[in-house]
A and B are shown apart, each in its own frame.
Chain A
Amino acid sequence: MTRTMKRNGWKPILRMRTLSWALLMLVVFCVVVPSAHAARPAEFVENDAWDQLMRFLSLRDQGVRLVLGGSLLLGLGCGVLGSFMVVRKLALAGDVLAHGVLPGVVLGFLWNLTKDPLHLFIGAVVSGMLSMAVVTILKRTTKLKQDAILGIVLSGFFAIGTCLLTMVFGLEAGDKAGLDHFMFGQAAALDHLDIRAMSWVTGVSLLIVALLYPKFLLLSFDEGFASSLGLPVRMLHQLMMLLLTFSVVVALQAVGVVLVSAMLVTPAASAYLLTKRFHIMLAWAAGFGMLSGSVGALLSFLGSGLPTGPLMVLTASVIFTIVFCFSPQQGIVIKHFRHVNRRRRVVLENLLKAVYHAAERQEFGENGMTLLDLAKVKRQTLETIQHDVDGLVRRGLATLSHDGDVLYLTTAGMSRAAQLVRNHRLWELYLTNAADYAADHVHEDAERIEHILGEATVRDLERRLDFPSVDPHGSPIPALSAKS
């Protein structure tokens, strides 16, 4: 990628990337919007999408309240536990866990042939922890690498679970209707008992995280140090995995086995891009989780019967895309603009310098410089120069004569030019004196540095060099308050 960039320049690659992101968002938009406006016959009387939306938001229906409650709970739990997974680089392990609960869920169902939350919960936890144990054992006892082990356990447990599931579908007895929602999730299938169970489990998980937060943080950051302190590292890790299993189970009915791991990872990854403080990351992750959950549920509600899991995941992914592009520190779109601005500024500043140098040679008699001369000095076309000069004029750093042929620097422009020249020459002096560079090597470095030296650094430099007045090549160094 970098080689291509260096060969063809930034533009084609950036265009391609922006295009692909736009394309992705377009595709998502095309999926989401039609389903929102789908005028499909619903259980409710109102067919109109707007009415349905209002119905949802007004929280009039108990069913809606349950769905919303469930989505918020799962978003909260998944966001918090998922954050630990992301910073510990265990995202794929979370995926294994999520698939590993399937056999347990089916066996839990077999207990009474009903969708009893308690039995499903116990089954899921046992099965999930078992899958983690198998991963550990395989890692310890074979030469297989981590990725292969994860793949085997993930698909193995899932296959066993699928066998059991399809066997159950073949049964005569039992209320299996609820079970097929476990694959892709259907938030509308949540009932009181489910919500109650989810609240308890989420509450307990969050309580434990809150109480053990320092230990969990240390475990995630520096396990070696943690064990050197005597902390029971293995137990803490198992406990964290257990809490992760809880989050998976809570999210299971609404999101489905297949996509639960996305709800663990994506909101947390978005949060990761937004902050450098872990507890703030937890807050963002929980927020994004809850947002994705509720929007996904809403969309499913509007689209009558679309599975909620994919909708929640897509919402989370859209949020991730937005953060990825636009986050203040790391968003690639923001970074791109910053880079473009910086380059522009450097070009304009170099122009200022050129005018200053020309004026300096004439001992600051004549301020102006013709565009033609400028073009010759900078070895560029007249059109490029004119374009750049417009930039200077717009920023109030220069003015043009009536016929547009001669460029005059304004006071502001002159003082900025003086600043640049001073920075450059000071830096050259510093490099030759303090850093022992040869006088003919210093120009390149100074060219780059002059644009970014801050005031404080400049004053420090001047002090160190004892307020010099000439640079290594004998040119004068403009004083701090130079205006001409």
Chain B
Amino acid sequence: MLENLQSLIPPFDWQQVVVDPWSKSQWVETMWVTGMGVMVAWACGLVGCFLILRRMAMVGDAVSHTILPGLVVAFLISGSRSGWVMFVGAVVAGVFTIWFIELIHSRSLIKQDAAIGICFSALFALGVLLVSRYANQVDLDQDCVLYGEIGQIYWSPTVAGMPEPAFSMAIILVLVLVLLAAFYRRLLVTTFDPGLARSLGIGTTRYHYGLMTVLALVVVAAFKAVGAIMVVAMLIVPGATAYLLSKRLPMMLALTLVHGLLGSVIGFHLGQWLNCSTGAAMVTAGVGLFFITWLATRITRMIQRQKSRRHHDVMDDDHTAFTRPERSEPDPHPVRGATR
């Protein structure tokens, strides 16, 4: 197998992988692809920070799967390939999913995790079937669904001098930044202490739905770039990496941006080298950065411990992965009204 693996991985030619893409003939295309990657990572990462803090990462995953049928149905109903129509379809599908999950979870003994699993796989399966059936009529095919097509964005029709996907993404990114700036403090309070927020008169449900809507928008954009399965990576990984390193929210947001930038650029070059899907490469690079960060924090902690010679942690070892008792804080953001 090793020989096969070796034949799989092309030799690493610095010139070809790193320098050439930025050469005169290729740099525009490179710029658009990496730029798109950065914008997707930034928009998703910022929203994702709040998902992480609100413990809604898996809801993000569910939404990323369920927009697929939304996109297809929206197209089939409206007959137009316009991006904005599809956005609407996706948002509707996203909201529908959340409502669906809550229906199952609150009206039967099915627990939340199973409800999420059932819903999004059913809807995603439906979406995949529709795509297979109507592939030639919709602007999607199975490969796009799985891998995204960020590598091809340069060849899309242009709007205002930019490739169309990049244009939409830019608008969304600006929207995210503006909303974040405007509602920062209220988002912070509703995330950290919903009880306090309510007593201050800040409508927690409003922000919850607002966040969900922005999530749906962001997910649709990311979906086109990296495919349905890896959207959740774009949402969670930058924020999670930042979370490991920061103690305060502003720092976490800033580091998310750094991660987004590095991940996309490194990922692009990784894809160039390995000749694989660009979207997957960007996600892999992001995950690699997460791993390096994790390693670094572990090493630092070990060094610190050696220095101060404290009693070492004992409570970790004797529980299985999924049943170690977390500190018993009640979940402040159950998926809409969950009581079990």
Q: A: which residues have CB within 8 A of B?
A: 1, 17, 27-28, 31, 34-35, 86, 88-95, 99, 107, 110-113, 132, 135-136, 138-148, 150-152, 154-156, 158-160, 162-168, 170-171, 173-174, 183-184, 223, 227, 233-234, 237, 258-259, 261-262, 265-266, 268-269, 272-273, 306-307, 309-311, 313-314, 317, 320, 324, 330, 332
Contact = CB atoms under 8 A, between A and B. Distances in A.
Given A110-B8, A151-B58, A269 B230 contact: no
Interface stretch (B102-110, B172-180, B248-256): B102-110
Given A310-B126, A311-B129, A152 B114 contact: no
11 contacts: A138-B294, A159-B284, A160-B287, A183-B146, A237-B322, A258-B229, A262-B121, A265-B117, A307-B132, A317-B118, A324-B108
B235 interface: yes
Given A111-B1, A150-B57, A265 B121 contact: yes
Contacts of A90: 113, 322
Interface stretch (B84-92, B184-192, B195-203, B274-282): B274-282
What range describes how many residues of B lie at the interface?
A: 35 or more
A237 to B, nearest CB: 4
Given A110-B4, A258-B124, A147 B55 contact: yes
Nearest to B122: A317
B280 A163 contact: yes
B320 A1 contact: no
Nearest to A142: B244
A313 B5 CA distance: 34
B170 interface: no
Given A113-B4, A142-B294, A151-B60, A89 B125 contact: no
Interface string B312-340: 00001010111110100000000001000
A162 B147 CA distance: 8
B104 A91 contact: no
Task: Identify which of B116, B125, B281 gathers the most chain A CB atoms within 10 Å of its CB.
Answer: B125
Contacts of A113: 4
A139 B114 CA distance: 21
A145 B61 CA distance: 15
B88 to A, nearest CB: 18
A99 B229 contact: yes
B122 A313 contact: yes
Contacts of B146: 162, 183, 258
A139 B325 CA distance: 11
A173 B4 CA distance: 10
B82 interface: no
B147 A166 contact: yes
B306 interface: no
B7 interface: yes
A165 B275 CA distance: 11
Task: Identify which of B5, B113, B133 gathers the most chain A CB atoms within 10 Å of its CB.
Answer: B113
A31 B133 contact: yes
A132 B321 contact: yes
Contact of B7 (A145, A146, A160, A171): A171
A138 B320 CA distance: 13
Given A262-B118, A330-B108, A332-B107, A31 B129 contact: yes
Task: Identify which of B126, B231, B320, B337 gathers the most chain A CB atoms within 10 Å of its CB.
Answer: B320
Contacts of B275: 167, 170
B237 interface: yes
Interface of B: 1, 4-5, 7-9, 52, 55-58, 60-61, 73, 102-104, 106-111, 113-114, 116-118, 121-122, 124-126, 128-130, 132-133, 142, 146-147, 227, 229-233, 235-237, 239-240, 243-244, 274-277, 280-281, 283-284, 287, 290, 294, 297-298, 316, 318, 320-324, 326, 337
Contacts of A227: 318
A159 B110 CA distance: 30
Contacts of A89: 111, 113-114
Nearest to B287: A156
Nearest to A161: B280
Contacts of A158: 229-230, 233
A266 B121 contact: yes
A151 B61 contact: yes
Given A148-B239, A183-B142, 17 more contacts: A89-B111, A91-B114, A92-B116, A107-B1, A112-B1, A141-B294, A151-B233, A156-B283, A163-B274, A166-B277, A184-B128, A237-B320, A259-B125, A307-B132, A313-B121, A324-B108, A332-B107
B110 A273 contact: yes
B321 A159 contact: no
Contacts of A143: 243-244
A78 B323 CA distance: 22
Given A17-B103, A159-B284, A183-B142, A148 B52 contact: yes
Contacts of B240: 144, 148, 152
A28 B123 CA distance: 10
Contacts of A306: 129, 132-133
A110 B323 CA distance: 36
Contacts of B287: 152, 155-156, 159-160
Contacts of A135: 321
B125 A152 contact: no
A145 B55 contact: yes
B128 A273 contact: no
A273 B104 CA distance: 11
A269 B110 contact: yes
A158 B283 CA distance: 9
A34 B125 CA distance: 16
Given A35-B133, A159-B283, A265 B114 contact: yes
Contacts of B244: 142-144
